[in-house]
Amino acid sequence: MTVPTLSINLATIRKQWGLREAVEACARHGIRAIDPWRDQVAAYGVQDSARVIKDHGMQVTGYCRGGMFPALDQARRDAAIEDNRRAIDEATALGADCLVLVVGGLPEGSRDIGGARQMVADGLSAILPHARACKLPLAIEPLHPMYAADRSCINTLAQALDLADAFGEGVGVAIDVYHVWWDPDLAQQIARAGAHKQILAYHICDWLVPTKDLLLDRGMMGDGVINLKQIGAMITQARYTGPHEVEIFSNDWWAKPGDEVLATCLERFRQVI
């Protein structure tokens, strides 16, 4: 069995460093894979980002993020589709393994979640030809149901896989433990995703009790209630062999020195995975 390696989602150290410094810091800690965010890449420039990533021999385990398809009117939905096409181009320039999609929630003032889900399917359908032409897989990331209104109306792995199945080639899922750990159907759905080679990324962190902020209080692996060993075993059994990507949005961890954060990520990764 191959031992999984670590990737750092650069949101984890976004308050400490810009893209270049973050890549250099990861390299310094012996980390060979990252997942940058669009704003970080935009601030440093796409070509310069691609160069510094290549110079350090970094695998790009994903690019965060595309999606946010639902909107009140056609003009805004079209604008979202155009923006996703640009995200595909950037991800391709960076050599990313996939574009992570947080699909979007309800348009402002809407109570029609079914309609929002249809807009997601329509948006995916509109960008998929370009993604396929770029040979860039699209990874639908189901988000915890607490984000259904404002971030993602795709809330379970089963739902994400149903959507991926409907589109076929070039669409898979990003499995983030923060969003799916509670799901009684998790083992079965991870096995299902593995059987069809649909797992494009695996994100790890922990769920703190209590959670002080629903967005910015993710825990470091080992500090919360997620059984990371158990879910990690499901992922391995599903034949996902890519790096495990640490993704922690946390006011607490953002307040610490970046080198301490990375050292802790590595140490916990060895302990709890």
Residues that bind Zn ion (CB under 5 A): 176, 203, 247
Q: Which is nearer to Zn ion, 17 or 249 (CB)?
A: 249
Q: Minimum Å distance from CB 158 to Zn ion?
A: 18
CA contacts within 13 A on the Cβ side of 148: 13
Q: Minimum Å distance from CB 246 to Zn ion?
A: 10
Q: Which is nearer to Zn ion, 176 or 223 (CB)?
A: 176
- Could you please report the per-residue DSSP string of 25-60? HHHHTT--EEE-BHHHHHHH-HHHHHHHHHHTT-EE
Q: Which is nearer to Zn ion, 61 or 84 (CB)?
A: 61
Residue 247: strand, helix, or coil: coil
Q: Which is nearer to Zn ion, 100 or 238 (CB)?
A: 100
- Residue 101 is given by DSSP the state E
Q: Minimum Å distance from CB 221 to Zn ion?
A: 14
Find the largest Cα–Cα distance for the chain. 50
Distance separating alpha carbons of residues 228 and 33, to the nearest angstrom: 20
Q: Which is nearer to Zn ion, 64 or 262 (CB)?
A: 64
Residue 213: strand, helix, or coil: coil
Q: Minimum Å distance from CB 152 to Zn ion?
A: 11
- Could you please report the per-residue DSSP string of 114-182? HHHHHHHHHHHHHHHHHHHHTT--EEE----GGGTTTTBS--SHHHHHHHHHHH-TTEEEEEEHHHHTT
- Residue 67 is given by DSSP the state E
Q: Which is nearer to Zn ion, 65 or 77 (CB)?
A: 65
Q: Minimum Å distance from CB 10 to Zn ion?
A: 12
Torsion, Cα 80 203 10 30, to 10 degrees, reads -150
Q: Minimum Å distance from CB 218 to Zn ion?
A: 9
